[in-house]
């Protein structure tokens, strides 16, 4: 892996880092440490960040060097292959866990029952993204921050006496320490293996930094200090300095795209980047939508922001995010972005054109849908939501107006103007702006300040199901008056069961659970909610089983009378005998 001093900065992010690295075999007969770093540029730096990592193999195994190399190499490559919409924690944890599973499998193959001779190593990594550093740690390598003349430990050694208490490759399951720390310009971080940090101090590092700006030279001299002070292990040191940070709220999607001009509203026959305008479809305060023909003849919907948005930089970025989302979700139930024939010369979005009606219109045309029809529609919405949730995206504005049904009955989720993307929000906090959605379908946690999650989309989905079956809303206008968690917990659910709706009690119970004011009391998966709509939930029948006397009083008393008559006959026969 490269160990040269690296310097990465782009105008889009403002993040600038300097790195120095050095490693030495020392007194050990074999080099078992491995380290590396990747400081990308442009959008990759903005959305995924920079990675610095090191690993330390254990001396009892001849495979530990390969394990260390595998752990670091996977982090520097596979991490960048994870979706840009994922958070750093999700991406890094998936990569580290997958690498650990592979190492454990190799350990079982070469040294069954003896992990000390297998593919085992410690591991520490930093991912710097936006204005935060994410630390991932297993074992006794160490990450520290220079504070004055002291080294402030940011990780905890996983040791039990002289033995490692935690390492990669030992077992199939791995507990990863994760910590997020805010960054300041001038911060200096140090990643070291135990051959270094057991023999140097913060005062040593401070003195070296005061002497030179060359961080490679500082790392090399730090390793030399440890050797002179009796280190008998392999030695690796990485020094990272934060030279500049992005401004709070700066765009993670790139200012260059956000600065594209908004095109004048086109007339039929005009072209924009090869898209020939056919006719206007729709306009609102936010945008104007046109039917257009792509160069290959396919019909597309071309969306141009309204003039009010054109004057607001944050609104322009939100508009860009809509197209960004559409190009990263693949599902037959989520509207797709159309291919671009070439570079974009103006600010607009383009998606497949789907001829159909919104669910709102469908509900007007079908005021009394069957339970099977409702289930089918909710299933399609849930399939689309799952594709978004797997990418750590929350739609946040699921309502009948944002669901489109084509002539074949296929439903698609549309309008990504309120989508929350965890990975983008992590890089650009506050991009969401004001509360998304509408009160009728907005989960109460948005208004009370409670934690928002994919369960908030589930709530909106359940509201739609309730409305399709009853023509009403489960909490009426109560949700709009929520200002605190106390208000949230005071919501009173209105049963969907009445003489006119014909909704079975167990379906009402499924809706009530998915609409619970407390998000954690809702089902643990969309599939669980949908399953509860197809058959009574486990335990429901037992909890709601009524005695025969309550369900059918006439039959109950007929049965009682028959039993008493039989007893009388038996008693008379015995007395007569």
Q: Which CATH architecture has domain 7-244?
A: 4-Layer Sandwich (3.60)
CATH topology of domain 255-352: Phosphorylase Kinase; domain 1 (3.30.200)
Task: For the chain, give the mean pLDDT.
Answer: 89
State the DSSP string of 287-345: EEEEEEE-TTS-EEEEEEE-HHHHT-HHHHHHHHHHHHHHTT---TTBPPBPPPSS---
Assess whether the region 7-244 and the region 356-540 belong to the same CATH fold: no
Residue pLDDT, tens place only, 365-420: 999 999 999 999 999 999 999 999 999 999 999 999 999 999 999 999 999 989 99
In this predicted structure, what is the pLDDT of residue 129? 95
Ranges of each domain in the chain: 7-244, 255-352, 356-540, 549-577
- Looking up tokens 């792509």 gives 294
Compute how many other C-beta atoms are within 10 angstroms of the C-beta atom of residue 202. Answer: 18
Fold category of 356-540 in CATH: Transferase(Phosphotransferase); domain 1 (1.10.510)
Task: Categorise residue 254: left if φ over 0, alpha if ψ from -120 to 50, beta otherwise.
Answer: left
Q: Which residues contact 360 (CB under 8 A, 6 or more apart)?
A: 399, 400, 401
Where does residue 544 rank: exposed (0-12), middle (13-18), buried (19+ CB within 10 A)? exposed
pLDDT of residue 541: 63
Tokens of 269: 């026959």
Residues in the chain with pLDDT values less than 50: 1-13, 548
Q: How far apart are CA 280 and CA 288, in angstroms?
A: 8
| pTM score of the predicted model | 0.85
Q: Which residues contact 374 (CB under 8 A, 6 or more apart)?
A: 465, 468, 469, 533
The string of DSSP letters for 7-30 reads EE--TTT--EEEEEEEEE-TTSSS
Q: Are 277 and 269 in contact (CB under 8 A)?
A: yes
């Amino acid at each position: 892996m490269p160990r040269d001093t690296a310097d990465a900065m782009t105008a889009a992010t403002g993040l600038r880092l300097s790195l120095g690295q050095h490693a030495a075999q020392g007194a050990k007969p074999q080099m078992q440490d491995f380290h590396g770093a990747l400081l990308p540029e442009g959008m990759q730096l903005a959305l995924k960040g920079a990675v610095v990592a090191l690993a330390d193999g254990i001396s009892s195994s001849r495979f530990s060097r390969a394990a260390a190399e595998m752990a670091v190499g996977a982090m520097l490559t596979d991490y960048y292959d994870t979706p840009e919409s994922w958070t750093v924690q999700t991406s890094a944890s998936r990569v580290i866990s997958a690498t650990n599973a592979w190492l454990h499998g190799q350990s079982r193959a070469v040294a069954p029952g003896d992990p000390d001779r297998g593919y085992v190593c410690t591991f520490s990594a930093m991912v710097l993204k936006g204005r935060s550093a994410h630390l991932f740690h297993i074992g006794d390598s160490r990450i520290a921050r220079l504070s004055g003349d002291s080294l402030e430990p940011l990780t905890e050694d996983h040791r039990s006496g002289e033995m490692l208490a935690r390492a990669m490759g030992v077992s199939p399951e791995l507990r990863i320490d994760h910590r997020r720390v805010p960054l300041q310009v001038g911060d200096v971080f140090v990643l070291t293996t135990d051959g270094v940090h057991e023999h140097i101090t913060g005062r040593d590092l401070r003195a070296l930094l005061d002497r030179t700006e060359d961080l490679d030279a500082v790392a090399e001299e730090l390793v030399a200090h440890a050797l002179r002070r009796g280190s008998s292990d392999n030695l690796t040191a990485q020094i990272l300095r934060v030279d500049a940070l992005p401004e709070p709220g700066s765009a993670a999607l790139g200012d260059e795209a956000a600065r594209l001009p908004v095109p004048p509203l086109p007339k039929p026959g005009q072209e924009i980047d090869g898209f020939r305008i056919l006719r206007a479809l729709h306009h609102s305060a936010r945008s104007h939508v046109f039917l257009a023909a792509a160069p290959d003849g396919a019909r597309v919907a071309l969306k141009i922001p309204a003039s009010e948005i054109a004057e607001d930089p944050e609104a322009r970025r939100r508009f860009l995010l809509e197209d960004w989302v559409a190009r990263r979700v693949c599902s037959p139930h989520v509207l797709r972005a159309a291919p671009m024939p070439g570079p974009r010369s103006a600010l607009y979005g383009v998606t497949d054109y789907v001829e159909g009606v919104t669910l709102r219109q469908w509900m007007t045309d079908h005021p009394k849908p069957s339970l099977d029809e409702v289930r089918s529609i909710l299933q399609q919405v849930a399939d689309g939501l799952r594709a978004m949730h797997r990418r750590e995206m929350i739609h946040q504005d699921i309502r009948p107006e944002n669901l489109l049904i084509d002539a074949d009955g296929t439903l698609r989720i549309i309008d990504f103007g309120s989508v929350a993307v965890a990975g983008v929000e992590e890089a650009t906090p506050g991009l969401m702006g004001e509360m998304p959605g509408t009160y009728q379908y907005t989960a109460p946690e948005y208004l009370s300040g409670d934690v928002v999650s994919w369960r908030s989309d589930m709530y909106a989905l359940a509201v739609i199901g309730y409305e399709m079956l009853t023509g009403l809303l489960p909490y009426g206008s109560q949700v709009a008056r929520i200002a605190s968690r106390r208000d949230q917990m005071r919501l009173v659910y209105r049963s969907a069961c009445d003489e006119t709706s014909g909704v079975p009690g167990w379906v009402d119970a499924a809706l009530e659970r998915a609409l619970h004011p407390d998000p954690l009391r809702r089902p643990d998966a969309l599939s669980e909610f949908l399953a509860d709509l197809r058959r009574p939930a486990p335990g429901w029948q037992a909890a709601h089983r009524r005695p025969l006397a309550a369900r059918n009083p006439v039959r109950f008393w007929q049965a009682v009378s028959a039993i008493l008559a039989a007893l009388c006959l038996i008693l008379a026969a015995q007395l007569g005998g």
